Amino acid sequence: MATLKLTDIRKSYGNAYVIKGVDLEIEDGEFTVFVGPSGCGKSTLLRMISGLEDITAGTLEIDGQRVNDLPPKERGIAMVFQSYAIFPHMTVRENVAFGLTIAGASKAEKEEKVAEAARVLQMEHLLDRRPSQLSGGQRQRVAIGRAIVRKPKVFLFDEPLSNLDAALRMDMRMEIGKLHKHLNATMVYVTHDQVEAMTLADKIVVLKDGKVMQVGTPMELFHEPANRFVAGFLGAPSMNFLEVSVDARDGREARVSNAALEPLAVAHKGRIDGQPHAVLGIRPQHVSATEPGRGLLHGTVNLSERLGTETVVDMTLKDGTKFIAAFDEDRIFEPGEAIDLEFDPARAHLFAADDDPAAPH
Amino acid sequence: MSSKLTRSNRAGWLFALPGFSLLFLFIIVPFFFAFWLSLTNQRLVSPNPTEFVGLKNYADLLSVSVLTLEPERDEAGEIRRDDDGAIAYPRVRSITRSDEFPQYRGMREWFRWHWGDKAKVVIASDVVFMKALVNTLTFALFIVPLQGGGALLLALLINQKLRGINAFRTIYFMPVVISIVVISLLWRFIYSGNEGLLNNILEALTFGAFTPVDWLGSTDTALGSIIAMSAWQAVGFHMVIWLAGLQTISPTLYEAAAIEGASKWQTFRYVTWPGLRNTAVLVLIVITMQSFAVFAQIDVMTNGGPLDSTQTLVFQTVERGYGKQDISGGATISVILFLMVLMISAVQAFLTRERN
């Protein structure tokens, strides 16, 4: 059990900075997920916490102790890799006990701890098999077993489910969630999959180009995205963005409109100081269809996908922008059909037109 | 057009024919020829017709017996000793040339040891062959660990991302590219007893305390010198094979081991070495087979001498077959060599098999 504190952590390869100053605090027992597109530096950041990568600048503290220069084994961490990294020539039992073997633990101690880990992960029947006889999910279970026998302070997961097929991924996701509840351990989890992030995390850290975009609970990030990137990254299908002109503005709200959008007032949260243009973000799920001529948004249907529980409509607005709408009902739309949408302005988000938080300050 | 060529069976065989017929003519035919020749008295050039002699050639090579010699005694029954006090024994040839023991006819002493007052003498019908056999086995016994182990060590060293590492790879591999004959000639200078490089270096290192040795001219050092030089020469080749094996081991396994806190030695023991299993089997078998075929070094450096101390099986094969024009004798040795290598490789394959 441990807390983790990152202060202005940086990483560069020569002149190329891949982590550009990350500040983050992780509480004891918290499940933190690093999420972001490929190349955003989330895996690098995790590997810096593990000690597999050097920290160029900044301070990393585990339980209040600076660990920048400690080798991985002295940091009290365990790591689960995307490619499982279990040793092919060892049985499951030997793999799970590996850390204990390295530390020179007695046979009895190994037996006991392996048995406990196997019970927690429900893989007692696999102990004498070799990795080649296991499925992907079972292999990842072995890797997790190897991590938990040592009772580390912090668990690190580097995209542990990315090599599994969709059905298995969901099972394992739930297992990892249960494991976290059971062990109540501090866990840091890297993924590019927003569903994993949303379902598992106590705290999500959204990264882009080596910088933190936003930190918060899944619902905070979903409902109150701090910028366009976070807004567009979380949620599927992703949020629609409309370029709008700002017609009027007071201390709380701004009145915006464009060729396809009826004028309306949206809370601006201080993001659009005196700029004539802004970007309005609307989630596909937050609109509903209405009679032509009566809604806030006007457009025509290009294509609709009926999924049974919902209908996803790809449409073009009157000003030529693409818009995706998701209605939670099964309904038929014909291509070319004119369609009007209405939505609650309170659920729309207003961002500055030049909102690019990853740009250098 | 191309599809017809690649699909036609006849075209396939036609393309394979030149290569296949060369292999057939120079590898497969001689292989079976050797078996047949080893059962005859064929000579390279002879006016007499070839005769089938059965296993006589094998008997002539492999016959070995042990004689027990009683000490010579004087009239009083006392053991006779020479001036140095050594026990006097009857001469071996009093037995091998005697008509009383036709079974020992033509055999000569190979080596002897003492058993109380008695002497046990091992006699062989072909002592040179026996020496060649022992030398070849000794050669293989030393070369396999030296070359295999050395190559692994080098591979581990050069399997690092360091500046200029390619220069080292090239240097270590260079002896493999150079002809073994050239290398043998160079090493003859290095090993020379008068002004050889090795003697000079050893003298310099010991400030003149070292007495120069004629490395290739002494029965004690000749085989060892050839072993050392041979191990060095081909080490680069096996280094490359080990290196290929090392690079198949997933880097994540090393990371996992580092996370678990494995030391360098533990990482080697639990990650690297198990990951090299298949490579190890290959290297082991290849080095064994190559070392049983040692010839060029011997031919250039010592010609089997001094006093047959560097005779080897292949050298004997060539020596007999062409030097002495005894083709059937040479063929017999090559068949024996073939069976030995086959047996050893089979044992190695069995011992290193995948266990589940």
Residue with tokens 């009679």: A291
Adjacency order of strands within the sheet including B118-124: B64-69, B118-124, B108-115
Q: Are residues B271 and B346 in the same domain?
A: yes
**pLDDT greater at residue B281 or residue B45:** B281
> Within this chain, do residues B101 and B236 fall inside the same structural domain, yes or no?
no
- The verdict on B144 and B234 lying in the same domain is yes
Smallest CA–CA distance from B253 into chain A, residue: A85
pTM summary value? 0.80
Question: Rg of chain B's alpha carbons, rounded to an integer?
Answer: 27
What average pLDDT does this structure show over B293-312? 88
A123: nearest Cα among A98, A102, A147, A96: A96
- Over the stretch B101-150, which tens digit does the pLDDT of each residue have? 878 888 888 888 888 788 888 888 888 899 999 999 999 999 999 999 99
| Claim to verify: residue B150 and residue B251 sit in the same structural domain | yes
Residues of A in contact with B258 (CB under 8 A): 51-52, 71-73
For residue A86, give how far its alpha carbon lies from the nearest alpha carbon of chain B (Å): 7
- Sheet strands side by side (includes A65-66): A16-26, A4-13, A57-62, A65-66
Interface residues from chain A to B (CB-CB < 8 Å): 50-52, 71-74, 77-79, 81, 83, 85-90, 98-99, 101-103, 130, 146, 150
CB A47 within 8 A of CB B214: no
In a domain, B299, yes or no: yes
Concatenated DSSP letters for A16-64?
Answer: EEEEEEEEEEE-TT-EEEEE-STTSSHHHHHHHHHTSS---EEEEEETT
Residues in chain B closer than 8 A to A99 (CB atoms): 260-261
The confidence score (pLDDT) of residue A361 equals 40
Residue B43 located in a structural domain? no
| A233 CA: distance to closest CA in chain B (Å) | 29
Please report whether residue B36 resides in a domain. Answer: no
Query: Is B201 within a domain?
Result: yes
Residue B20 lies in a domain: no
How sure is the predictor about B216, in pLDDT bands with cuts at 50, 70 and 90?
confident
Amino acid identity for residue A101 in this structure: T
Amino acid type, B268: F
Chain A residue with CA closest to B276: the answer is A89
Q: Tell me which residue in A79, A83, A89 faces B259 most closely, judged by beta carbons.
A: A79
State whether CATH 3.30.420.40 applies to domain A4-229.
no
Q: Which of B253, B262, B275 sits opposite A85 (nearest CB)?
A: B253
So what's the pLDDT on residue A315? 93
What SS3 string covers chain B? CHHHHHHCHHHHHHHHHHHHHHHHHHHHHHHHHHHHHCCECCCCCCCCCCCECCCHHHHHHHCEEEEEECCCECCCCCECECCCCCECCCCCHHHHCCCCCHHHCCCEEEEEEEECCEEEEEEECCHHHHHHHHHHHHHHHHHHHHHHHHHHHHHHHHCCCCCCHHHHHHHHHHHHHCCHHHHHHHHHHHCCCCCCHHHHHHHHHCCCCCCCCCCCCCCCCHHHHHHHHHHHHHHHHHHHHHHHHHHCCCHHHHHHHHHCCCCHHHHHHHHHHHHCHHHHHHHHHHHHHHHHCCCHHHHHHCCCCCCCCCCCHHHHHHHHHHHCCCHHHHHHHHHHHHHHHHHHHHHHHHHCCCCC
DSSP state, A239?
P
pLDDT for the residue B123: 87
Smallest Cβ distance to B252: which of A51, A83, A146? A83
In the predicted model, is pLDDT for residue B356 greater than 60? no
- Calculate what percentage of chain B has a pLDDT beyond 90: 33
Closest by Cβ to A102, choosing from B255, B266, B277: B266
Whole-angstrom Cα distance, residue B242 to residue B148? 9
Domain boundary among B73, B108, B124: B124
CB–CB contact A87 B260 (8 Å): no
Domains contained in chain B, number: 2
SS3 at position A230? helix
Q: Are residues B85 and B189 in the same domain?
A: no
Contacts with A, B 224-263, CB within 8 Å: 250, 252-253, 255-263
> Of the candidates B256, B266, B271, which has its C-beta nearest A81's C-beta?
B256
Give residue B106's domain range.
64-124
Residue (of A101, A137, A117, A172) closest to A127 by Cα position: A117
Residue of A48, A52, A74, A150 to mutate when probing chain B, most B C-beta within 10 A: A52
Q: State yes or no: cis peptide before B306, omega within 30 of 0.
A: yes
pLDDT at A311: 92
Per-residue pLDDT of chain A (361 residues; tens, 9 = 90+): 689 999 999 999 988 899 999 999 999 999 999 999 988 999 999 999 999 999 999 999 999 899 999 998 889 899 999 998 999 999 999 999 999 999 888 999 999 999 999 988 888 899 999 999 998 888 999 999 999 998 899 999 999 998 888 888 888 899 899 999 988 899 999 999 888 999 999 999 999 999 999 999 999 999 999 999 999 999 888 999 999 999 888 888 889 988 888 888 888 887 877 788 899 999 999 999 888 778 899 999 999 999 888 999 999 998 889 999 999 888 888 899 989 999 999 999 999 887 765 444 4
Listed by start position, the domains of chain A span 4-229, 240-352
On whether both B114 and B205 belong to a single domain, the answer is no
Residues B111 and B133 in one domain: no
Residues facing residue B65 across a β-bridge: B123
Q: Which residues of B touch A130 (CB under 8 A)?
A: 356
Is A205 within 8 Å of A34 (Cβ atoms)? Answer: yes
Residue contact A52–B258, C-beta within 8 A? yes
Does residue B253 lie within any of the structural domains?
yes
Architecture of domain A240-352 in CATH?
A: Beta Barrel (2.40)
Residue A146: the pLDDT is 92
Give yes or no: residues B188 and B264 share one domain.
yes
Distance from CA of B263 to the nearest CA of A (A): 8
- Say yes or no for a CB contact (<8 Å) between B270 and A87: yes
**Any A CB within 8 A of B354 CB:** no
Domain check: are B107 and B234 in the same one?
Answer: no
Which chain A residues touch B266 with a CB distance below 8 Å? 102
Same domain, yes or no: B94 and B238: no
State both tokens at B2. Answer: 């191309």
Both B110 and B259 in one domain: the answer is no
Chain B positions touching A149 (Cβ under 8 A) are none
- Chain B residues inside the 8 Å CB shell of A83: 250, 252
Q: What is the pLDDT of residues B163-212, one digit of tens each?
A: 888 898 889 999 999 999 999 999 999 998 888 888 888 888 888 778 88
Can you tell me the distance from the alpha carbon of A203 to that of A188, in angstroms, rounded to the nearest whole number? 10
| Chain B residue whose CA is closest to A79 | B259
Query: Are B199 and B118 contained in the same domain?
Result: no
Residue B347 located in a structural domain: yes
Domain boundary among B106, B124, B142: B124
Look at strands A277-282 and B108-115 and give their pairing.
Answer: unpaired
Q: Which of A89, A130, A142, A162 is best to mutate for the B interface (most B CBs within 10 A)? A: A89
Whether residues A102 and B260 touch (CB distance < 8 A) is answered with yes
What is d(CA A107, CA B300) in angstroms, rounded to the nearest whole number? 58
d(CA A263, CA A332): 29
Is B58 a member of any domain?
no
- The helix (run of H) or strand (run of E) holding residue A180 is helix A166-183
Nearest to A52 among B255, B275, B277 (CB): B255
